[in-house]
Structure 1
Amino acid sequence: MQRSLILLGLFILLAGCASNTVDSPGAAAVGAGTGNASYYGARHHGKKTASGERFDQNALTAAHRTLPFGSRVLVTNLRNDKTVTVRINDRGPFVRGRIIDVSKKAAEQLDMIRDGVAPVSIKLLRP
């Protein structure tokens, strides 16, 4: 019984360290990686974000699962090389394969409104 609990605890710890959204081991720790980005806009406008502030679809903000609130991140659309710097103020995305949700304004600058989802790279500029 005790051995089973130890194995279960070890499994839970290892599962929490797993990630399939970055290119190399340790990249998540420095805020770099590639994956898909999506955007959110009017439906969420004015609602509270995980950081406690109100979501503004016209601001250059984004949601990331782990980066600290207030972090600045350079997002590059890999289809067209357009970039935007966003500030992390929310948690998400919660869809497999997506690494960041950007505001509508940021999506416009990345030229991804029409597609809704785009392959991107992210780079942490300032925690």
Structure 2
Amino acid sequence: MAEHPIEGLMRTTMDNLKKMIDVNTIVGEPVETKDGKVIIPISKVSMGFVSGGSEFKQSDSDKNNSSYPFGGGSGAGVSVQPIAFLVVGEDVRLLPATEMNYVERLLDNVPELLKDLIKNFKKKKENIEEENFNPS
């Protein structure tokens, strides 16, 4: 069975997208600084893809022709947005490329807040135990 023309359109679009997007698009090429640190850019990649076609009615004289009377098109869009930089040296740090909003800042501080809460509860428990201690 012969390939439908829309299949060729889709294959060409997908092949070109594969050429544009690789791992270096999301995790960029590492850059080494003079002090020995390595900086790796991290990006968010969004992609959209569309393909469509239409077959037209054949006239009686065209019925013997094996090719489809076909019209079609395809397209794609790609957006690359830097989100952070991974800095590797004596330690590893993740530096956001954009300013964090309120919720992100709150979530970023949750581990420290939990440590403080646990510390305060332990301290309060120790104080209560000292008050209730009766050596007699």
Compute the TM-score of the two structures, normalised by the length of structure 1: 0.25
Higher relative contact order (CA 8 A, sep 6+): 1
Compute the TM-score of the two structures, normalised by the length of structure 2: 0.24
User: Could you say which structure has the higher helix fraction?
Assistant: 2
Pick the structure with greater CA Rg: 2
